[in-house]
Amino acid sequence: MMRTTRAVRFALTAAVLFALPTPLALSGQDVEELADAYRTDAGRLIGAALTDEIGWEKLTHLTTQIGHRLSGSDGLERAIEWADERMRAEGLENVTLQPTMVPHWVRGEEHARVVGPVERRLSILGLGNSVGTGGETIEAPVVVVGSFEELEALGRSEVEGKIVLFAVEWEGYGRTVQYRGGGASAAARLGAVAALVRSATGNSLYTPHTGAMNYADDAPRIPAAAVTVEDAAWMRRMSEAGETVVVRLAMEAEMLPDAQSYNVVAEITGSELPNEVVVMGGHYDSWDVGQGAHDDGAPSIAAWHALTLIHQLGLRPRRTLRVVLWTNEENGGRGGRSYREAVGEDIDDHVAAIEMDGGNERPIGFGVTVPGAGGTPGGLPGTPARGEVSPAQQRALALTSAIGTLLDGIEAGTVTSGGGGADIAPLMADGVPGLALRTVGDHYFDWHHTDADTIDKINPVDFKKAVAMLAVMGYVLADMPERLAVR
């Protein structure tokens, strides 16, 4: 087959795509032409990513020498300063620190212990945004429930003055996490003095999982903490045996005034349509335990390094390709909202948004959603959509699937309906197509929000594949002749 120059390949692709009989239809030949136009550049990007060591060195620095990065902490601000300096040194364009005020929750010291009918230590992690015990120690009997309905059935007479334990069964993160988020307020309405929640995971080696909780305006604020799967199961069995477990709890947690933080932004300016933007990234903050390696250090560094490799290879797409390391996803979401506010009335110039926030296990592809085009994104980044899929969504799937074929060589080219993420949700709410990088997700929730979320849980090859995927998908979306979705 005769080899063509990059310019000729673009011209051929444009001729095919703009000659479509309807803006929502793509034939198999159209898809093949799009993939063929970018096969050489994609090969260069994949090769660079798989042989590169600098990206892994950056991830090692972030996780090992900086560590966890809760909003408002010195760790997050050191990470932001380092990324800003490093991006500039790498030659990325328009490096910017985009300011946003973030919550500043501090854990402090915390401990819990069973004091009756036997004595034993409880391993806990206070839930993010929780109040503390006010310098006192709470000691109270534990009431064990398996659902909100069980709690309501008990009524105030059985709950008042006690600690409620939500020993709920694992039904996947989307269903189980509601008890972490709203359990404390539900218990407080019935007079509970504190709430304990079974950690949101299907597997445990006696590891508690933290995460954000929220207080309702119509309930007192009581301390809330996660306990291990093992301790939750033990207390349930004790309750079923007719035993009353008594727990002593002390937490120093407090919410300080909002702190100054920043989204870190860098880009490669588009060669022909610089005002049109494809944005990709991950959230740079993490919880105050572990290293924030899977959530969301590796994804953030992967998106950043994808842009770096594109720049180093001298590739400049037609549209601007931007990376954002969003701040404060974990306990506020203010980075994503601040970015949307900064975009302002130029929202129609955002062609696509890509988020990676599902850890960095072995990557398999992308999920994609065109807002308002049918199909409802699942509860996790990149999970398949539910419901009818419209012609517009089918067209976006066809285009991204064509790009996905460029990643088949690294077994990461599967594209399904259902893309998005917390930080790009404000963009998607105004019609921007959203993509999420998907992984096998075998162990993500084993480490999620724990002291075990460390770099040793990440396979360097999986990380390099994620860099390659983001580089190829981001570059082609920013460079292909037409936009991903007609708006």
Name the DSSP letter for residue 2.
-
Cα distance between residue 246 and residue 481, in whole Å: 66
Pairing of strands 273-283, 194-198: unpaired
| pLDDT, tens only, 149-207 | 999 999 999 999 999 999 999 999 999 999 999 999 999 999 999 999 999 999 999 99
Tell me which of 77, 90, 276, 329 is the catalytic residue. Answer: 329
- Domain span(s) for CATH 3.50.30.30 in the chain: 108-252
The order of strands in the sheet holding 120-122 is 120-122, 110-116, 246-251, 138-145, 163-166, 194-198, 224-227, 124-126
CB 367 within 8 A of CB 436: yes
CA 267 to chain centre: 21
- Return d(Cα 9, Cα 15) in angstroms, integer: 10
The pTM score is 0.92
Burial pattern 57-91, b for ≥16 Cβ within 10 A else e, equals: ebbeebbeebbbbbbbbebbbebbebbbebbeebe
pLDDT for 26: 58
pLDDT of residue 389: 66
User: DSSP character for 434?
Assistant: E
Give me Rg for the CA atoms of the chain: 24
User: What pLDDT, on a 0 to 100 scale, did the predictor assign at position 193?
Assistant: 98
Residues of the chain with CATH 3.40.630.10: 6-104+258-479
Q: Kindly give the pairing relationship between strand 350-355 and strand 434-439.
A: parallel
Give CA 451 to chain center in angstroms. 18
* Residue 169 annotated in active site: no
**CATH no., domain 6-104+258-479:** 3.40.630.10
Instruction: Note down pLDDT in tens along the chain; length 487 residues.
Output: 333 334 433 333 333 343 333 334 556 667 788 999 999 999 999 999 999 999 999 999 999 999 999 999 999 999 999 999 999 999 999 999 999 999 999 999 999 999 999 999 999 999 999 999 999 999 999 999 999 999 999 999 999 999 999 999 999 999 999 999 999 999 999 999 999 999 999 999 999 999 999 999 999 999 999 999 999 999 999 999 999 999 999 999 999 999 999 999 999 999 999 999 999 999 999 999 999 999 999 999 999 999 999 999 999 999 999 999 999 999 999 999 999 999 999 999 999 999 999 999 999 999 999 997 554 444 344 444 455 667 878 889 999 999 999 999 999 999 999 999 999 999 999 999 999 999 999 999 999 999 999 999 999 999 999 999 999 999 999 999 989 987 6
The pLDDT of residue 387: 55
The CATH fold assigned to 108-252 is Glucose Oxidase; domain 1 (3.50.30)
